[in-house]
Structure 1
Amino acid sequence: FPHSDQVILKTLDPCDPCDPPPSTTDMEEATFRRILDMSARLPFLTPFLQRLMMKSGISGRRRGPAHAIFPSDRTLRFEEMEYEMPRAAGLDTLDEVVRWIRKKRLPVTFPFEYRTVAADDIWMSPMNAGPVAAISMHQYAKMPWAALFADAEAIFRGAGGRPHWAKRHTLNRADVAALYPMAGRYTAVRRAADPTGKFLNPHLETLFA
């Protein structure tokens, strides 16, 4: 959580075959929902509530087959933005965003997620330039998020980040061309495979038409 000095570490380790766990989520949502609703009504309490929650301790252990452990049910609605940046810049970028949030006492209600991802060679993948650090930022759906994400996005972009395509971002066609050397070839293939734009929607038209 951006207003706490403690972190939650999640690890995934191989184990012997076993039955699925009784729970389909890795967190206790009822308490977290009450905290989120309090933050939505009284945003200035967000830093205090996060520190209090972390002091109470968050721990757990689940064991089961991969298909039951990797996903987790979420009934809390939220907005999310994720940027992948060069791995060497990851921790410094996360630190910069957290310091900005604390300086302005912004009511960012969800924890950041930070993980590392290996490189690949997919034309439009954020990982095609090398291994990355992925930083996910969330905000409770009942609270303002657009301006918050826009300001954070400037920090992520400044560190050489590229967004997760399925999450919030403000890239346009020129941005895509600048960030992805293979964007032109990708767009040509897309047009050849779908000349009428059947598989485009208004958002994708602004990026790949």
Structure 2
Amino acid sequence: MAEAVLREQMCLLARSLYERGLTHGSTGNISARTEDGGLLVSPTGTSFGRLDPGRLSRFDADGRHIGGDKPTKEMPLHAAFYDTRNCGAVVHLHSCHSVALSMLREPGETFLPPLTPYAVMQLGQVELLPYFMPGDPAMGAAVRGLAGKRSAVMLANHGPVVAGKDVEAACNAIEELEATAKLVLLTRGMGPRALTDGQVAGLVTKFDLEWDA
């Protein structure tokens, strides 16, 4: 995809997420791989509702900042996904339902039960990571510690991060994460019927997903 088109697409998708309340204020960040192996990244302190295609931070294939505004302080988090997975985009939001659910879980617990096939297909297993101060490089180290096994993580008391094959896929997947977190909260204490182990196994096999037995 031509860089100019990618810049427009990133801003369009970010604005859509913002306008539907999936992130707010100047929260969230988004990045995407360019054809030459570099990155386009949302600048620090900017709103998803008002990103300027011409001011996105530009990195070359060696990770040098070569243009645009100063990038998000969460660059170590984005870099960790690009370095450990074959992905084309990373999105991080501060979406309310997923953050709320993270406050009711402990790291190591299942974050999202398999309530629908779509969450399994688009996200695989979502790893709940401990709390880190925003911008802490340790977040990137925690993602690297997963050795590329997860396309989606939840930062406790902070927000979800999802990597995808391209920016549209990453945005679709993070929306699925938020929708599933909402379903979990809506059915909390009601004993909802999740997918069976056999149904999950069928999805894992058919779509070649990463899922721990």
**TM tier, shorter chain?**
under 0.3
- The TM-score with structure 1 as length reference comes to 0.25
**TM-score, normalised via structure 2 length:** 0.24
